[in-house]
């Protein structure tokens, strides 16, 4: 997903060779790592092992972890992605300077307990492997900032996941999780939590203690409600809840002071969620493919709304109060039961795009609407 891809650090190393003096120095910053030479064969790396900081051997049909890599004592970045490697050796602990380990698209089915001894590991990419469980020792990675486990076969997380005190990004998309451990509330600096495409039926109340959380992905699960504690996430800006079984957005939900984006599409909402009106900072609201029959006048409270998408509901009329949303730029009402618009729609001078396709508007009404909004792109 685009937002997530913008968040996760993607290091683009240049082929600038550094001197042996630098190679033997302390751990490099990310900025410095971007400037080191990347070795792309074991043979080249072994010709000057003391100088090797970054090694990338991707998509070379390696079935086993090359033991020769363990001779590279100064290695800080290792990329073995897209190789059918099934296991990591216990002796990987030899690589004590390793900061970044990328095993994306390999065939790992487990991690060795010794993974916890990589004390300097900051980024661990294990997405699209076949991992079914994590060792408790994962919690020993006190410097870990990014843990990417997207596309594995995890059914549960060990409680020790809460010991990752430096973790900022946790990606668990497309696994088989049915619940989350209470210890998750210990991740005090977590900024992004991706749980899309699991089998979650509920969220623990402790999720409200993730005080730095900014992005929360929960789409494509089995959630039927949200805990009120979610309202404690005062740094939350993006909340994705598409394709669950949610029937209401709690009226008692406190205002999320920084919430800008909310997607509740493809749920089971029959009424416009009253708890939404308290989210005064919302700029994008998506409620597509629900069972909404109308838009209440309280919609006027959402003064910062720029995008409102209500596609595929059962809406028959548009309240005048909607025209008071002065900064609204995109209004999607496709596939509803609207027959006409109030003349007040002419006040929506900032509207740039209006989708009215698959409604009940006759040709005369379409022309009238277009005359009210001559500068707006309208799709009938």
Q: What share of the chain is helix, strand, coil (3-state, %, to 5)?
A: 25, 10, 65
Q: What integer pLDDT is reported at residue 252 of this predicted model?
A: 60
Q: How confident is the model at residue 5 (pLDDT cuts 50, 70, 90)?
A: very low
DSSP state string for 204-245? -GGGGG-TT--EEE--SS------GGGGG-TT--EEE--SS-
Question: What DSSP state is assigned to residue 289?
Answer: S
Q: What is the pLDDT of residues 156-183, one digit of tens each?
A: 999 999 999 999 999 999 999 999 999 9
Q: What integer pLDDT is reported at residue 25 of this predicted model?
A: 47
Q: What integer pLDDT is reported at residue 278 of this predicted model?
A: 84
Return mean pLDDT, the chain.
Answer: 92
Q: What integer pLDDT is reported at residue 261 of this predicted model?
A: 98
Q: How confident is the model at residue 289 (pLDDT cuts 50, 70, 90)?
A: very high
Q: Which two tokens stand for residue 373?
A: 């909004």
Asked if pLDDT for residue 147 goes beyond 90, the answer is yes
> How many CB atoms sit inside 10 A of residue 207's CB?
22
| Sign for the pseudo-dihedral over CA of 270, 271, 272, 275 | negative
Q: What is the pLDDT of residues 76-120, one digit of tens each?
A: 999 999 999 999 999 999 999 999 999 999 999 999 999 999 999
Cα separation, 378 vs 63, in Å, equals 56
Of 119, 16, 132, nearest to 76 by C-alpha is: 119
Asked if pLDDT for residue 220 goes beyond 80, the answer is yes
Q: What integer pLDDT is reported at residue 170 of this predicted model?
A: 98
Q: How many residues does the chain have?
A: 380
Q: What integer pLDDT is reported at residue 214 of this predicted model?
A: 98
Of 304, 308, 283, nearest to 295 by C-alpha is: 308
Q: What integer pLDDT is reported at residue 1 of this predicted model?
A: 43
Q: What is the pLDDT of residues 36-55, one digit of tens each?
A: 999 999 999 999 999 999 99
**Average pLDDT of the residues in 259-275:** 94
Q: What integer pLDDT is reported at residue 251 of this predicted model?
A: 62
Of 333, 289, 271, nearest to 307 by C-alpha is: 333
Give me Rg for the CA atoms of the chain: 25
With residue 370 as reference, give the H or E element that holds it. helix 363-372
Cα separation, 259 vs 217, in Å, equals 13
β-sheet bridge partners, residue 193: 170, 216
Domains of the chain: 1-132+143-154+167-173 (3.80.10.10)
């Amino acid at each position: 997903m685009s937002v997530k891809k913008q968040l996760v650090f993607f290091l683009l190393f240049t082929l600038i060779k550094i001197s042996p003096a630098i190679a033997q120095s302390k751990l490099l910053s990310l900025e410095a790592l971007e400037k080191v030479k990347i070795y792309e064969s074991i043979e080249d790396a072994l010709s000057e092992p003391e100088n090797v900081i970054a090694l990338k051997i991707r998509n070379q049909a390696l079935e086993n972890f090359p033991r020769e890599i363990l001779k590279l004592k100064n290695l800080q970045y290792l990329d073995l992605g897209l190789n059918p490697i099934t296991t990591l050796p216990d002796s990987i602990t030899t690589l004590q300077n390793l900061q970044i380990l990328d095993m994306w698209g390999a065939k790992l089915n487990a991690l060795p307990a010794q993974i916890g001894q990589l004390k300097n590991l900051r980024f661990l990419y294990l997405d699209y492997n076949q991992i079914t469980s994590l060792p408790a020792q994962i919690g020993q990675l006190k410097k870990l900032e990014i843990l990417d486990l997207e596309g594995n076969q995890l059914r549960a997380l060990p409680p020790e996941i809460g010991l990752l005190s430096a973790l900022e990004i946790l990606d668990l998309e497309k696994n088989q999780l049915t619940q989350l451990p209470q210890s998750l509330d210990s991740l005090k600096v977590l900024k992004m939590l991706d749980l899309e495409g699991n089998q979650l039926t509920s969220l623990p109340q402790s999720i409200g203690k993730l005080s730095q959380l900014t992005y929360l992905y929960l789409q494509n699960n089995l959630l039927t409600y949200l805990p009120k504690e979610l309202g404690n996430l005062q740094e939350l800006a993006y909340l994705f809840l598409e394709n669950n079984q949610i029937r209401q957005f709690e009226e008692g939900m406190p205002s999320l002071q920084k919430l800008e984006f909310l997607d509740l599409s493809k749920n089971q909402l029959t009424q416009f969620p009253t708890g939404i009106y308290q989210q005064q900072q919302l700029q994008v609201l998506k409620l597509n493919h629900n069972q909404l029959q109308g838009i209440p006048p309280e919609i006027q409270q959402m003064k910062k709304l720029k995008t409102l998408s209500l596609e595929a509901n059962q809406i028959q009329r548009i309240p005048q109060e909607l025209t008071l949303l002065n900064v609204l730029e995109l209004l999607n009402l496709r596939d509803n039961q609207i027959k006409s618009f109030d003349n007040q729609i002419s006040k929506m001078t900032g509207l740039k795009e209006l989708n009215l396709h698959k409604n009940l508007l006759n040709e005369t009404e379409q022309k009238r609407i277009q005359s009210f909004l001559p500068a707006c792109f309208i799709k009938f």
